[in-house]
């Protein structure tokens, strides 16, 4: 993974726009699911699958692949859409999201979809699983990187901090966590529901290296993962400040969109908004 050229950044931004459109369509078709988180993480997932991760969509079980653990399983639509665009399965399959018999379960399942590293949905368990993978692969002197995508809301779970403490103790330098710091959760804003700040200081106190970035800036995203790779003495947290619903200005920042899908009649408008904001 090298640093981004301006041209590459433009390409990734274009890809993220396509992925956002797929997310809107698949959620409207599913008639349930989460909108804000997937849109907010579209840039980071695009950067991961199209620039950062070592992986092979045609060989999802490739031993040397990096492991991407999605802890907050409810944002699965962004992972499904990005995997489809990356070539893991046909983009049309995204329209089966949450439907009977689909591999694209409402919350992702390891046993259902090749390339899905873990089952998740119940919050707070991804960081520990990623830490377990990092520990085990390091035992075997493997060079795979382990990346855990997690939410800010699940920082309220005790299990998250058990995992953070473990990774800090064992200096798991092959582990990078990226937190979707979008400030919302189902019942409202995180700082009203159960304040999380100062998050960066908390992770530093747990012996992590912390990088804060704008989670919608491709250069910053890719730089942060490159920096994390260079930090040898501890795990790294990328605290990514994101806007929930990013790309659809009429819903950006509104926590009511955490757990609701767009209606079919909103699809056209939302896609128009995505295209309009991509021009800016």
Partner 1 sequence: MLNKTAKLSDKIFTKDIPMAPTRDGFGKGTVEAGKADPNVVVLCADLTESTRAEWFQKEFPERFIEIGVAEQNLATVGAGMAAVGKIPFIASYAAFSPGRNYEQIRTTSALNNVPVKVCGMHAGVQTGPDGATHQMLEDISLMRAMPNMVVIVPGDAEEARKAVVASAKNGKPTYLRFGRAKEPVFTTPETPYEIGKAYELWRSEKPQVALIGCGAVLYNVLTAAAELEKKGIGSVVLNSHTVKPLDTKAVVALAKECGAVVTIEEHQVNGGLGGAVAETLARECPTPMEFVGMHDEFGQSGEADELMEHYGMGASHIAEAASRVLQRKA
Binding stretches for partner 1 (CB under 8 A) = 67, 69, 109-111, 117-122, 124-125, 128-137, 139-140, 158-159, 162-163, 165-166
Terminal-to-terminal C-alpha distance of the chain: 27
What minimum distance in Å lies between the beta carbon of 61 and partner 1?
11
What would the DSSP string read from start to end of 161-203?
HHHHHHHHHTT-TTEEEEEEE--EETTEEHHHHS---SHHHHH
Question: In the complex, what is the shortest distance from the CB of residue 121 to partner 1, in angstroms, rounded to a whole number?
Answer: 7
Residue 79 or 216 with smaller CB distance to partner 1: 79
Residue nearer to partner 1 on the CB measure, 16 or 127? 127
- Does 144 sit behind a cis peptide bond, omega within 30 degrees of 0 on the bond before it? no
Nearer residue to partner 1 within complex by CB, 30 or 146: 146
Spatial separation of the C-alpha atoms in residues 280 and 275, rounded to whole Å: 9
Query: Cβ 228 to partner 1, closest distance in Å?
Result: 19
Q: How far is the CB of 125 from partner 1 (least distance, A)?
A: 5
User: Rounded to an integer, what distance in angstroms lies between the CA atom of residue 213 and that of residue 219?
Assistant: 10
Torsion angle in degrees (nearest 10) through CA of 117, 121, 124, 125? -40
To partner 1, the closest distance from the beta carbon of 134 in angstroms equals: 8
Task: Specify the residue, 123 or 248, whose C-beta has the smaller distance to partner 1.
Answer: 123
Judged by beta carbon, residue 36 or residue 237, the one nearer partner 1 is: 237
The answer to whether 119 and 111 have CB atoms below 8 angstroms apart is: yes
How many other β-carbons are positioned within 10 Å of the β-carbon of residue 15? 22
């Amino acid at each position: 993974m090298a640093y981004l050229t301006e041209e590459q950044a433009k390409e990734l931004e274009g890809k993220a726009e396509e992925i956002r459109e797929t997310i809107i369509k698949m959620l409207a078709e599913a008639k349930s699911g989460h909108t804000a988180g997937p849109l907010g993480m579209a840039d980071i997932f695009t950067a991961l699958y199209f620039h950062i991760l070592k992986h092979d969509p045609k060989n999802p079980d490739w031993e040397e692949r990096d492991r991407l653990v999605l802890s907050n399983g409810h944002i699965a639509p962004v992972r499904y859409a990005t995997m489809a665009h990356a070539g893991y399965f046909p983009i049309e399959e995204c329209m089966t999201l949450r439907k009977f018999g689909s591999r694209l379960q409402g919350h992702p399942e390891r046993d259902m979809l090749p390339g899905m590293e873990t089952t998740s949905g119940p919050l707070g368990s991804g960081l520990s699983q990623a830490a377990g993978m990092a520990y085990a692969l390091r035992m075997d002197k493997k060079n795979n990187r382990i990346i855990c995508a997690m939410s800010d809301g699940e920082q309220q779970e005790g299990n998250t901090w058990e995992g953070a403490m473990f990774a800090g103790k064992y200096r798991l330098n092959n582990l990078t966590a990226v937190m979707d710091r979008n400030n919302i959760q189902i019942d409202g804003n995180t700082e009203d529901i159960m304040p999380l700040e100062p998050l960066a200081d908390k992770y530093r106190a747990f012996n992590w290296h912390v990088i804060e970035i704008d989670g919608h800036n491709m250069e910053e995203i890719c730089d942060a993962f490159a920096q994390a790779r260079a930090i040898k003495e501890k795990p790294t947290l990328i605290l990514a400040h994101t806007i929930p619903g990013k790309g659809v200005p009429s819903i950006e920042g509104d926590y009511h969109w955490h757990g609701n899908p767009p209606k079919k009649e909103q699809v056209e408008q939302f896609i128009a908004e995505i295209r309009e904001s991509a021009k800016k």
